[in-house]
Amino acid sequence: MNLFSNTSSMKNKIFVQKLNLLKKISVFGKSNTKFGEGVGIVMSGYGKNAVSFFPMSNVRIFKENVDFLYNSEIKISDSFSHKIFQKKLIGLLKKIHSEDRDFKEKDWDEFKTDLYNLPEESFRIFAPIYGITMDKATFSLGDFTIYNPKYFKDQLVVEYPKIVKLINEHVKFDDNYKISVDVVAKDMEKCYELGFKAFNSFENVANFTMATFHKTKRVGIFNYSKFINFECFMLNAKMVNRSSVILEHFEEVKIDDFKLISTENDNDIIWKLITSNKNQIEQRILNSIEWCGKALIEVDDSKALLQYIIAIESLLQYDEGKFIVPSIVSQSCDTIAFLLGETYKDRIYYSTEMKKLYQIRSSITHSGKGKITSLTLHTAHVFCYKIIKKLIGTEPFNKFQNKDELYDYLHNLKYGQS
C-alpha cells in the first residue's frame, strides 16, 4: 500500500469538491437579481462574461475556498498574488461551465501546470528611504542597494539605457534617498507584494542594527517621521494658553558605515537573511531580529517590553501555540540560561532575570500595567541581542538547521552531556 499515493489522491478529491462547490454557487452571465444597498457581492467581468457570487453566505464560501486553494501549495502562493490567482481561477470556472460538466481531478492538475509554465517577471523595485545620509553614490546591504539622490538619475541612466525616455517621464527625482531590491514572480502584483515585504523586513532589521537603546536614531521606509511635534492649548475664563513640544527627534544614520556590513559583528549575515532561502532556525532568527527592531523604536515602554519578549519567544519557544504557563516560562528561562551562560553563576543570573521579565510581562497582559524601568528594557534588549548574535555567529549554534537540533543540544548541555 502506497501511503503517499493515497494521501495525494485524498487531497485531489478535496480540491475537486471545493472547485465543484465554487461552480455550484457561481452565477454566470448577467444577473437579473435586484440588489439593495449594502448587499455583499463579488463580481468578475461584465455582461455575459460576468461571474458573480451572492448573497453574503456564498461570498464567504467563495473567499474561504479561494484562500484554501491559493495556500494549498507554496509554489502558488510564492509566485502569484492572491488577486491574480483568483482571476485565473474564475477563468477556470468559466471554462468548466462552458463545457457543461463538473470538475475532475485532472482539471486542477492541468490548471496548476498552466500556472507553473507561465514566464516569470523580474523587476527591481525602488522606494524612498528616510533617516539616512551617505557620501557614496550607492551602497549595498545584502541584496538591497541604497542610492544617493545626488547621483540617482545618472545611475538609472547607466543601469537602464534602453528606457531613458520612460525614466525621465515617470520617475520622481527629488532629495530623498532611494532603496532597491530585485524581485521575481509570475505576475507584477506579486512582485510589488514581495518588494513591500522585503522593504518592511529591511526597515525592522535596519533599526535592529542601527537604532540606539535611547531611541536617537531611526531608519524608515513605510514608518518614519524625523520628529513629532505635539501641540495643545488650555482655556479658562480669563485666557488662552498654547504649548508646543517636540516628543521625538531622530539623528540621521550614516548608512555607508563599514560597521553595518562588518563580518566581525555578523551584520553581513543579517542583511542576507532578509532575501535568502532560509531554514527553520534562520527564519526564527529573522523574526526575532524584526521584533527587536520594532521594540527599539517603540515609544510605549509596555509595548516595547512585550516586543522584546516576543523576539525571544519567536526564537526559543519550543511548543508554539501554548499559553505561557509556569512550565513554559521555566523552559524558556532554562534555555536562555544554558544558551548564554558559561558558568553556574552566569546561568543563575540569566534564568533569574528572565523570570523577572516574564513577571512584568504577566502584569502587563493581565492588568494592563507593570513596573517598567529603563533597566528592565535594557536587560530585555541585551538578552535579545546576545541570543541572536550567539545563534548567528557561534558554533555549534550557527550550524543548526531546525529547532529540534537546537533543543537537543541544549537539553544535553543542561544534563551534563556536551
pLDDT at residue number 331: 83
pLDDT at residue number 418: 56
| Average pLDDT score over residue span 216-221 | 87
User: Quick check: 321 pLDDT over 80?
Assistant: no
pLDDT at residue number 326: 54
pLDDT at residue number 8: 67
Lowest mean pLDDT among 111-120, 132-141, 198-207, 229-238: 229-238
Lowest mean pLDDT among 252-256, 291-295, 328-332, 361-365: 328-332
User: pTM of the entire structure?
Assistant: 0.86
pLDDT at residue number 266: 84
pLDDT at residue number 187: 95
Q: What percent of the chain has pLDDT over 70?
A: 91
Per-residue exposure over 230-243, b if at least 16 CB sit within 10 Å of its own CB, e if not: eeeeeeeeeeeeee
pLDDT at residue number 245: 78
The residue ranking higher by pLDDT, 160 or 36, is 160
Under 8 Å between Cβ of 298 and 332:
no
User: Quick check: 3 pLDDT over 50?
Assistant: no
The residue ranking higher by pLDDT, 414 or 354, is 354
User: Quick check: 149 pLDDT over 70?
Assistant: yes
pLDDT at residue number 2: 52
User: Quick check: 322 pLDDT over 90?
Assistant: no
User: Quick check: 95 pLDDT over 90?
Assistant: yes
Q: Report the chain's terminal Cα–Cα distance, integer Å.
A: 42
Q: What is the mean pLDDT of the chain?
A: 88
pLDDT at residue number 247: 67
The residue ranking higher by pLDDT, 13 or 32, is 13
pLDDT at residue number 211: 75
pLDDT at residue number 4: 45
Task: Specify which of 179-188, 369-378, 390-399 reaches the highest per-range mean pLDDT.
Answer: 179-188
Count of all residues that appear for the chain in the document: 418
pLDDT at residue number 1: 47
User: Quick check: 255 pLDDT over 50?
Assistant: yes
Q: What are phi and psi of 296, to 5 degrees?
A: -65, -20
The string of pLDDT tens digits covering residues 283-301 is 999 999 999 999 998 888 9
The string of pLDDT tens digits covering residues 54-93 is 888 899 999 999 999 999 999 999 999 999 999 999 999 9
User: Quick check: 114 pLDDT over 60?
Assistant: yes
Under 8 Å between Cβ of 240 and 326:
no
The string of pLDDT tens digits covering residues 154-206 is 999 999 999 999 999 999 899 999 999 999 999 999 999 999 999 999 999 99
The residue ranking higher by pLDDT, 233 or 2, is 233
pLDDT at residue number 411: 81
| Average pLDDT score over residue span 309-338 | 77
The residue ranking higher by pLDDT, 215 or 163, is 163
User: Quick check: 53 pLDDT over 60?
Assistant: yes
